């Protein structure tokens, strides 16, 4: 095996809705949130019935202690799974401090027993204690300690109610909810919520609070804890009550204006690649007669508050859609206006309340390029030439201006398309869904691009094939015989081969260690031989390609990040694959070129194309 001397980086960018040219820059978000919280007399009930107190809007009693901060200054800031903050900001207090208080008023509309749920970061094996007080008419109706390691919390990824969880992939993504059993009896009128941080037991971590939610819908909370397995309760978070639309019919016929369709439901393309949230949102339908305008219609409840996204609308004629934003004083001011016919494809922010921005989807790329040229004037270095970077990024929305902008963006970073015909000999194909029996025909269909293909992916986070089927024992026996073994070499009590069955159950390590050992050896050999059948076909048709698959570094769990020899070494020595490949995770920024790469896949190949 030659020493690896040229790297091939495969960067999968699932979304590029970043913050390149904000009217309110990301770094200014905390100040904007504080100003909004100060100017608003009280949090009002949302159209969905919730009271959401964004923690960054709580008003600290002093300059020390609690501080509003932007997303990215907290512990768990990324673009994947359980690492999002509502409206991309939070309220933070240091690990240890003298008592510090921040408060926010709410205006209760109806009397009831309200759950007081808090979303915050619970650093694994650290205390993150803070107190929540709810006061009304001079009486404390709730005075409870949150964030203690011993407290029950609502955990992500099907863990439901537990005190503490340590993930197998590391002590990360520890954003939790707490308060499933914390009630405050409230009457109509003003109430005050206080967040109090003080000295706490060691080991201590920062107190990073995302929001406080009040709700009387106990059944919904219980149902979500039980059934919203991936990110429980997060599906309740929208921009309800923030954004409105007013539609004017510019055509000669009655107009119907309504939401488009997004994967996962609704008309907002959600931030999570798995579209995992349980949502109750539904885009309204606005009917307008010719020459007339509608009233303001609430549409913020169709918008995610956990991240930015594509937001689509459609009308059966020509129209003007004016979008408005609810101000701190309750009035609605103009946010953006668009004239269109048919589909209206918008890009919206998860914190519209602070960013005060709404734009067409094509403007995201134009703004990004302008930002890069302003903040990082070209030329700002040499684009990679030996290292190939594959990326899923912008799709051209036309054959003119936007297509040219996509090409310019890709050239800035020397990005290659994940297609067989990618330029400069950087073609890429993924054959994970092609059965071995059909692989020859698949390759023949790509004959015009054969010499251009540089990388072939056999799959993502795969395991090598394992023996299975009715003949597995007979095939196992044939393989054992090829190793010059007798039955007693495998199992001392065996009189013949019929007494030996292929079995990789860990319990056999103690009871039948020989059977376990040789079963594992056969599993490894079988996997390498089977994957080599596919690789041999691919190498015959794609002579310049490296062939590999992404092996996740956090498997097997008993020795994470220490790969199994058969999968990381032997498979290449025996030509089962030719391209070593693994992955890691990046912590993206809210500014710059790539705020939304979830994973970076890193195949490595030598300068002559051989592993």
**Mind listing the pLDDT tens digit for each residue in 119-131?**
999 999 999 999 9
The dihedrals phi and psi of 472, each to the nearest 5 degrees, come to -60, -40
Distance from C-alpha of 172 to C-alpha of 355, rounded to nearest angstrom: 28
Overall number of domains in the chain: 4
Indicate whether 176 and 84 sit together in one domain: yes
Model confidence, pTM: 0.86
Residue 14: is its pLDDT beyond 80?
no
Indicate whether 67 and 169 sit together in one domain: yes
Indicate whether 461 and 478 sit together in one domain: no
Tens-place pLDDT, residues 176-222: 999 999 999 999 999 999 999 999 999 999 999 999 999 999 999 99
Bond before 454 cis per omega within 30 degrees: no
Tens-place pLDDT, residues 18-61: 333 334 466 699 999 999 999 999 999 999 999 999 999 999 99
pLDDT band at 342 (very low <50, low <70, confident <90, very high): very high
Indicate whether 432 and 383 sit together in one domain: yes
Please tell me what DSSP assigns to residue 150.
T
pLDDT score at 23: 42
Specify the pairing of strand 243-249 against strand 297-298: antiparallel
In a domain, 433, yes or no: yes
Residues 6+ apart with CB under 8 A from 610: 2, 546, 578
Residue 554: is its pLDDT beyond 60?
yes
pLDDT score at 514: 97
In a domain, 368, yes or no: no
Indicate whether 461 and 483 sit together in one domain: no
In a domain, 372, yes or no: no
In a domain, 259, yes or no: yes
pLDDT score at 48: 95
pLDDT score at 581: 85
For residues 455 and 390, the answer to whether their CB atoms sit within 8 Å is: yes
Higher pLDDT, 260 or 263: 260
In a domain, 121, yes or no: yes
In a domain, 578, yes or no: yes
Indicate whether 251 and 112 sit together in one domain: no
Residue 504: is its pLDDT beyond 80?
yes
Higher pLDDT, 407 or 590: 407
Distance from C-alpha of 185 to C-alpha of 205, rounded to nearest angstrom: 31
In a domain, 538, yes or no: no
Distance from C-alpha of 191 to C-alpha of 540, rounded to nearest angstrom: 73
Tens-place pLDDT, residues 161-179: 999 999 877 888 899 999 9
CATH (domain of 92)? 2.60.120.260
Q: Is 110 helix (H, G, I), strand (E, B) or coil?
A: coil
DSSP-assigned letters across all residues of 245-256? EEEEE-SSS-EE
- Distances from the Cα of 312 to the Cαs of 118, 249, 303, 320, in angstroms? 31, 18, 11, 14
Tens-place pLDDT, residues 380-412: 678 888 888 888 889 999 999 999 999 999 988
Of the residues 236, 267, 302, the one at which a domain ends: 236
In a domain, 371, yes or no: no
For residues 232 and 160, the answer to whether their CB atoms sit within 8 Å is: yes
pLDDT score at 374: 81
Name the residue range of residue 424's domain.
Answer: 6-13+377-465+543-605
Residue 6: is its pLDDT beyond 60?
no
Indicate whether 458 and 477 sit together in one domain: no
Indicate whether 516 and 554 sit together in one domain: no
Q: Is 225 helix (H, G, I), strand (E, B) or coil?
A: helix
């Amino acid at each position: 095996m030659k020493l690896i001397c040229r790297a091939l980086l495969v960067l999968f960018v699932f979304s590029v809705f970043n913050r390149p040219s904000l009217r309110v820059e990301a770094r200014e978000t905390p100040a904007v949130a504080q100003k909004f919280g100060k100017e608003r007399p009280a949090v009002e009930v949302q159209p969905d019935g919730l009271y959401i107190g964004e923690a960054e809007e709580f008003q600290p009693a002093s300059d020390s202690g609690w501080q509003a901060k932007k997303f990215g200054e907290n512990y768990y800031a990324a673009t994947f799974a359980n690492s999002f903050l509502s409206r991309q900001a939070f309220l933070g207090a240091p690990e240890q401090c003298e008592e510090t208080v921040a408060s926010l008023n709410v205006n209760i509309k109806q009397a009831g027993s309200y759950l007081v749920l808090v979303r915050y970061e619970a650093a694994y094996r650290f205390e993150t204690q803070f107190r929540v007080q709810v006061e009304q008419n001079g009486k404390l109706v709730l005075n409870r300690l949150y964030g203690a390691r011993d407290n029950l919390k609502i955990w992500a990824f099907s863990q439901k109610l537990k005190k503490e969880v340590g993930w197998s992939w590391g002590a990360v993504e520890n954003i939790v909810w707490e308060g499933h059993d914390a009630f405050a009896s409230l009457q109509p009128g003003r109430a005050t919520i206080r967040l109090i941080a003080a000295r706490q037991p060691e080991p201590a971590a920062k107190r990073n609070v995302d929001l406080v939610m009040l709700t009387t819908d106990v059944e919904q909370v219980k149902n979500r804890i039980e059934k919203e397995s991936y990110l429980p309760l997060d599906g309740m978070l929208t921009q309800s009550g923030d954004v409105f639309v007013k539609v004017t019919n510019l055509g000669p016929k009655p107009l119907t204006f309504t939401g488009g369709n997004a994967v996962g439901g609704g008309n907002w393309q959600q931030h999570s690649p798995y579209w995992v949230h349980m949502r109750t949102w539904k885009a309204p339908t606005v009917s307008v007669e010719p020459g007339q305008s509608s009233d303001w219609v609430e549409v913020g409840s169709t918008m995610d508050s956990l991240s930015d996204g594509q937001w689509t609308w459609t009308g059966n004629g020509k129209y003007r859609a004016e979008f408005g934003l609810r101000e701190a004083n309750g009035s609605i001011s103009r946010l953006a206006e668009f004239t269109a016919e048919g589909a209206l494809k918008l890009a919206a922010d998860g914190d519209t309340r602070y960013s005060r921005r709404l734009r067409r989807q094509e403007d995201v790329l134009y703004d990004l390029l302008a930002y890069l040229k302003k903040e990082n004037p070209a030329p700002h270095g040499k684009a990679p030439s030996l290292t190939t970077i594959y990326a899923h990024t912008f799709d051209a929305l036309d054959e003119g201006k936007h297509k040219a902008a996509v090409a310019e963006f890709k050239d800035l970073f020397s990005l290659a398309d994940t297609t067989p015909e990618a330029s400069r000999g950087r073609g890429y194909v993924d054959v994970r869904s092609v059965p071995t029996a059909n692989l020859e025909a698949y390759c023949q269909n790509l004959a015009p691009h054969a010499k251009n293909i540089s990388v072939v992916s056999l799959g993502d986070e795969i395991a090598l094939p394992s023996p299975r089927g009715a003949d597995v024992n007979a095939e196992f026996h044939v393989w054992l015989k090829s190793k010059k073994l007798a039955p007693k070499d495998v199992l001392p009590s065996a009189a013949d081969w019929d007494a030996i069955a292929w079995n990789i159950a860990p319990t056999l390590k103690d009871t039948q260690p020989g059977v376990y050992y040789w079963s594992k050896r056969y599993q490894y050999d079988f996997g390498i031989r089977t994957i080599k059948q596919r690789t041999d076909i691919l190498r015959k048709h794609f002579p310049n390609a490296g062939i590999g698959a992404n092996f996740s570094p956090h498997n097997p769990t008993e020795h994470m990040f220490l790969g199994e020899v058969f999968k990381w070494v032997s498979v290449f020595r025996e030509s089962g694959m030719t391209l070593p490949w693994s992955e890691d995770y990046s912590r993206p920024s809210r500014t710059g070129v790539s705020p939304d790469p979830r994973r970076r896949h890193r195949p490595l190949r030598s300068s002559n194309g051989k592993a």
